[in-house]
Every structure is written in C-alpha cells, then in structure tokens.
C-alpha cells in the first residue's frame, strides 16, 4: 500500500520542461527515504528519457471510461531507487514530440489529454491494494484528481481516509478551457459553479483543484502571500483568499545529488567552497565552448538560463544588453520559448561577437556548465513562485542578481547585508535591474569581498530534507495517518 501518491505531468529524469520536473525528481524520493511509502504517477511520454531504468508493463487494459467511449490506458512501472513510479500510457495522447505545446501554441486537445490522465490516475489508484493516505497533485494537469476524490469519497468507503493536496508551481498556467469541456470531465453538475470548476463560464482545472483539495500549497512562503492579491493572483486571488486557511507556502529544495559542483558529471573539473580553483577551469571551458573571447577569463562573465518568457524578464535583459556590452563583461544566454525574443537575442549576438553567446535550445548539460563557468547569474523574473536556478547558482558560487519577488526573496540574502549571498532589486524594471548588476560588478572588483560572497552563497543549504519534513507536518495537519 502507498501512503502518499504523487500525481504529476513531469518527473526528472524521465520528463522535464522546468522546475516541476526537478521537484518531482527529488521530493517524493526524499519522503520515500524517510520511510514513507511513496509512489508517483505520471504520463508515459513517447519522448521520455528512461535513463537506463527498466520499465515494465503492469496493466494493459485500464478502463478509463470517458463519457463517450470505452477508452483504455496501459500502466507501466519503473522502480526508481526502489520507489514505484507508474506511467499512464495512451499513445495518441502522450506519444508526441513535445509535452504540452509546439511553437505554434498549446496542443488543441490538452483538456482531453489531462482529463484522461486524471481519470486514469483515479482508476489505477482504485485498483491498488488499499487507498493512499494522501493524494498529492501538482499543477493544473493533475488538478482534477482532488476533485474526483472529493466527490467519490462521499460514496465510496475505499477513499474514506484519503486526503488530497494540490500544489501550485505556477499560477499563470491554469488549464482554462471552454465551459463545454466540463461535462467531459465526468465531474458532477454540483461542481459547476463559481465556487467550483467554473471560471467566468470557462472550465478552469487549477481552480477546480484549489476548490476541492483538503490543502493547497505553493512553493515558497512569499509567493503564498503574493497570490492572495491582484498583482500576482492571476485572477484566482478570489478563490485563493476564500480558501486561504488551507493555503501554505513550502519552499522547494535543491537536489544536491544532481546539482553539486563537487560531484557533477557534466563539469570538466569539480570544485567546492574550500577549493574554488576548479571554477576557473570551468570558466575556461565555457568560454571556449560558447565561442567567447579568452580575454573574458579575468572579466565578469554573466549567465542566464531559463524559459525565454516574460515571466523570466527576458525583455528586460534584452533592453539592457547594449548598455551592458559597453562594460567589460561577457554574457551567455541559454533558453527557448518566445520566438521574437529568441530572434532579437540571436540578432544581438551578431553585434557582439566574442562577448555575447546565445544558445537557443534545452540542454541539461549546458545548464550545468553555465552555472559553474559564470561569475554572476541573472534572474530578472517578473514573478517567481520559487525558482530553482538561483538556488543552483548559489551552490555553484555564481551569486544571483534577481528581482525581489516570490521565492527569490526567500532564497537570496541581498547585498549589502553582511550575510549577503546575492543582489536583488525591488521590482521588475530594466533600470533597477541594470543598477543591481552594477552593484554586483563593483563588488566583483574587490577580489576578497567577492570570494567571501561566493563562499557564503555556496555554503547555503536548501536541502529537500527540510522541505520534506514540512510536507509531512502538513499531511498530518489535514488528518493523514502517517
Ligand atoms: P521554471 O520552472 O519556472 O522554468 P525553475 O528555476 O524552477 O524555473 O526551474 C528551471 C529548471 O529548468 C532548472 O533545472 C533549469 O536548469 C532548467 N532549464 C530551464 N531552461 C533550460 C534550458 N534551456 N536548458 C536546460 N535546462 C533548462
Ligand atoms: C514553476 C515556477 C518556478 C518553480 C518551479 C518548481 O515552474 O515557475 O518558480 O521553482 O515551478 O516548483
């Protein structure tokens, strides 16, 4: 029997488009290693990276029972470091080139795909020997599961002791579809109202999860407060405020088994806060691999890694590049997303050969070596539920320059505090961003202060161990018997 069942549309190393994948690759295992019987269920994508894990078919004919046809799913299983990970398979939904969207936009049938996934999760969980104590759903793609549980629990004693949790990793992605899809979900008509699944006539999956979960969490304490107001609430501040007593912010951790410069298979040379020399070698490699001038070895090298989107403040980065390039610095940008920002960045690269390198794409290996080889990490996010890249940057001795929002506030101690680990600016504004970079560059001039800042950053600990304990406390607070 599983005590906690995680429901997610991504789990590293099998699937990942961003931080959700990283979190799911670490948090469930952390609970599992604390002795809690944990399992994960996720889609079986055609493009998955099985990473040498043996996958076996455990059920070939799961009747998911869409309202209009007897549609079935296969269930596969991998024992990942001993923890069961179940995969819901249905080729026509999940065997695609991308996870959620192509460059032309979202897949037209995303609503159908993830209704199918959530229904399959419930059917599979119903077949397991004994109900879990907690079903923990992540983001809109999994959000219908707590709602199904809420209604099934009223009729089926199998579920009577099962609690549900919804975690919001990014409130901007809500799974909002035309209201006509509501009936396909199979939820009862009682859920179709402004306190439930309906949002201005549309079917809103994330809102449905918020309404019917026993607890709602988000990934940093500051973001948990921010989303109760109109600036960051993405239109859901009303329903969140209504349910604020069940909302809690639990800060993400970093998986230091994957992100540790002392033991990182992608780096040409490892290093630690005591032995920083290897970082220089990483910088040398980065300069040559990204075709940057070797003269930058003794100059500040700035890096950005992330989705090329407004959330990440890429427009502000583009705004300041000409002025930044007047200074004696180099810059590497790695990411993909908005096509016009990508084109702008590539155009700019032509203007600053040897000083600006732009890599469009998604490459795990490059992300690691950029973290290690740069001196300063840029993260001018407009909003940031938690943010993991700045946490990795701290560990890699690459102090971040970031907006003081969400999880960035909760993870970076800003200069000039004697405990400083990075630099922040008050709101998403290009001028303020540029000025914060200037502050970082001036500290960089003083080798001794910079080394101390780097070492403080590297010694900061954001382990999953602490976050996992907070999740266990929250599960118990809602009545789970763990
Ligand atoms: P978000 O989830 O909002 O995208 P996070 O900072 O929480 O932001 O997590 C981003 C994760 O995705 C990190 O592991 C980061 O290294 C990775 N990542 C983002 N863009 C790329 C890219 N272009 N190539 C490789 N890894 C990337
Ligand atoms: C989301 C957020 C990011 C967070 C990640 C993992 O993608 O944008 O801030 O770190 O989820 O929780």
pLDDT at 209: 98
Average pLDDT for 275-303: 97
pLDDT at 51: 85
Residues 216 and 342 in one domain: no
Q: Whose CA is nearest to atom 3 of ligand 2?
A: 387
Residues 368 and 469 in one domain: no
Q: Determine, yes or no, domain membership for 263.
A: no
Residues 61 and 136 in one domain: yes
Sequence-distant (6+) residues with CB within 8 A of 384 are 223, 311, 402, 403, 405, 406, 407, 408
- 306 C-beta closer than 6 A to ligand 1: yes
Residues 399 and 341 in one domain: yes
Residues 438 and 471 in one domain: no
How far is the C-alpha of 16 from the C-alpha of 13, rounded, in Å? 7
Q: Whose CA is nearest to atom 10 of ligand 2?
A: 387
- 221 C-beta closer than 6 A to ligand 1: no
- 23 C-beta closer than 6 A to ligand 2: yes
CA distances from residue 475 to 19, 91, 135, 207, 404 in whole angstroms, order as listed: 22, 34, 10, 21, 30
Asked if 163 and 37 count as a contact pair (C-beta separation under 8 A), the reply is no
pLDDT at 285: 97
Quote the ligand 2 centre to 296 CA distance (angstroms): 32
- 170 C-beta closer than 6 A to ligand 2: yes
How far is the C-alpha of 324 from the C-alpha of 153, rounded, in Å? 58
Range of the domain at 372: 277-460
Strand partners, 166: 137, 216
Identify the residue whose tokens are 């230091």: 256
pLDDT band for position 103 (cuts 50, 70, 90): confident
How far is the C-alpha of 175 from the C-alpha of 145, rounded, in Å? 14
Asked if 328 and 322 count as a contact pair (C-beta separation under 8 A), the reply is no
Residues 208 and 72 in one domain: yes
- 20 C-beta closer than 6 A to ligand 2: yes
- 334 C-beta closer than 6 A to ligand 1: yes
Residues 26 and 166 in one domain: yes
Quote the ligand 2 centre to 441 CA distance (angstroms): 28
Residues 246 and 284 in one domain: no
The two three-digit tokens of residue 267, written as one number: 């780096």
Q: Whose CA is nearest to atom 18 of ligand 1?
A: 306
35: left (phi over 0), alpha (psi -120 to 50) or beta: left
If one counts every other C-beta atom within 10 angstroms of the C-beta of residue 105, the result is 8
Q: Determine, yes or no, domain membership for 270.
A: no
Average pLDDT for 372-392: 98
Residues 101 and 243 in one domain: yes
Alpha helices by DSSP H, 71-204: 91-94, 110-127, 139-142, 144-153, 182-185
Q: Determine, yes or no, domain membership for 12.
A: yes
Identify the residue whose tokens are 């859901």: 236
Helices 314-324 and 430-445: crossing angle in degrees, nearest 10, is 50
- 25 C-beta closer than 6 A to ligand 1: no
- 22 C-beta closer than 6 A to ligand 1: yes
The sign of the CA dihedral 303, 306, 308, 310 is negative
Residues 379 and 283 in one domain: yes
Asked if 358 and 349 count as a contact pair (C-beta separation under 8 A), the reply is yes
pLDDT in tens, 182-199: 999 999 999 999 999 999
pLDDT in tens, 54-64: 999 999 999 99
CATH number (domain holding residue 339): 3.40.50.2000
Domains in the chain, number: 2
pLDDT in tens, 417-436: 999 999 999 999 999 999 99
- 18 C-beta closer than 6 A to ligand 2: yes
Quote the ligand 2 centre to 249 CA distance (angstroms): 13
Average pLDDT for 368-394: 98
pLDDT in tens, 2-32: 999 999 999 999 999 999 999 999 999 999 9
pLDDT at residue 50 above 70?
Answer: yes
Q: Determine, yes or no, domain membership for 265.
A: no
Q: Whose CA is nearest to atom 2 of ligand 1?
A: 19
Q: Determine, yes or no, domain membership for 172.
A: yes
Average pLDDT for 295-312: 97
How far is the C-alpha of 266 from the C-alpha of 283, rounded, in Å? 13
How far is the C-alpha of 134 from the C-alpha of 4, rounded, in Å? 5
Quote the ligand 1 centre to 407 CA distance (angstroms): 15
Q: Determine, yes or no, domain membership for 269.
A: no
Quote the ligand 2 centre to 482 CA distance (angstroms): 27
Quote the ligand 2 centre to 263 CA distance (angstroms): 24
Share of the chain above pLDDT 70, in %: 100
Residues 233 and 319 in one domain: no
- 167 C-beta closer than 6 A to ligand 2: no
pLDDT band for position 68 (cuts 50, 70, 90): low
- The number of the ligand nearest the C-alpha atom of 406 reads 2
pLDDT in tens, 108-158: 999 999 999 999 999 999 999 999 999 999 999 999 999 999 999 999 999
- 337 C-beta closer than 6 A to ligand 2: no
Q: Average pLDDT over the chain, rounded to whole?
A: 97
Quote the ligand 2 centre to 207 CA distance (angstroms): 18
Residues 350 and 410 in one domain: yes
Sequence-distant (6+) residues with CB within 8 A of 407 are 219, 220, 222, 223, 251, 252, 384, 385, 386, 387
Strand order in the sheet with 356-360: 356-360, 330-335, 301-305, 376-379, 400-403, 423-425
Q: Determine, yes or no, domain membership for 207.
A: yes
Sequence-distant (6+) residues with CB within 8 A of 413 are 419, 420, 421, 422
């Amino acid at each position: 029997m599983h005590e906690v069942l995680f429901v997610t549309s991504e789990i590293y190393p099998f699937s990942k488009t961003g931080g959700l994948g990283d979190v799911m690759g670490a948090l469930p295992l952390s609970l599992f290693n604390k002795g809690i019987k944990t399992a994960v269920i996720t889609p079986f994508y055609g493009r998955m990276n099985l990473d040498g894990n043996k996958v076996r078919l455990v059920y070939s004919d799961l009747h998911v029972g869409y309202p209009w046809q007897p549609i079935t799913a296969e269930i596969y299983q991998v024992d990942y470091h001993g923890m069961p990970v179940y995969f819901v398979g249905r080729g026509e939904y999940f065997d695609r080139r991308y996870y959620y969207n192509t460059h032309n936009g979202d897949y037209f049938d995303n609503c159908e795909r993830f209704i199918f996934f959530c229904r399959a999760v419930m059917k599979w969980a119903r077949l397991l020997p004994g109900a879990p104590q907690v079903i923990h759903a992540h983001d809109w793609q999994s959000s219908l599961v707590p709602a199904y549980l809420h209604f099934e629990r009223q009729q089926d004693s199998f579920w009577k002791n099962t609690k549900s949790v919804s975690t919001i990793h990014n409130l901007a992605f809500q799974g909002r579809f035309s209201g006509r899809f509501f009936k396909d979900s199979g939820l009862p008509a009682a859920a179709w109202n402004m306190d439930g699944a309906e949002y201005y006539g549309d079917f809103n999956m994330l809102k449905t999860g918020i309404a019917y979960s026993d607890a709602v969490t988000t990934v940093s304490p500051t973001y948990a407060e921010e989303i109760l107001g109109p600036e960051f609430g993405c239109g859901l501040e009303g329903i969140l405020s209504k349910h604020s007593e069940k909302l809690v912010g639990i800060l993400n951790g970093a998986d230091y088994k994957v992100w540790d410069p002392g033991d990182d298979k992608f780096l040409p040379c490892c290093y630690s806060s005591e032995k920083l020399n290897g970082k220089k070698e990483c910088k040398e490699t980065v300069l040559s691999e990204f075709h940057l001038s070797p003269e930058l070895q003794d100059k500040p090298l700035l890096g950005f890694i992330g989705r090329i989107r407004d959330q990440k403040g890429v427009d502000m980065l583009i705004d300041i590049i000409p002025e930044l390039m007047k200074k004696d610095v180099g810059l590497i940008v790695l990411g993909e997303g908005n096509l016009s920002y990508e084109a702008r960045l590539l155009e700019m690269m032509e203007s600053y050969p040897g000083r600006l390198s732009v890599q469009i794409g998604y490459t795990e290996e490059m992300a690691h070596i950029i973290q290690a080889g740069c001196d300063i990490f840029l993260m001018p996010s407009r909003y940031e539920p938690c943010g993991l890249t700045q946490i990795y940057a701290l560990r890699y001795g690459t102090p971040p320059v970031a907006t003081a929002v969400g999880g960035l506030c909760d993870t970076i101690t800003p200069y000039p505090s004697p405990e400083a680990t990075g630099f922040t600016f008050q709101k998403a504004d290009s001028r303020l961003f540029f000025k914060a970079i200037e502050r970082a560059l001036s500290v960089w001039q003083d080798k001794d202060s910079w080394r101390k800042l780097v070492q403080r950053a590297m010694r900061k600990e954001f382990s999953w161990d602490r976050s996992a304990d907070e999740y266990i406390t929250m599960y118990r607070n809602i009545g789970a018997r763990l």
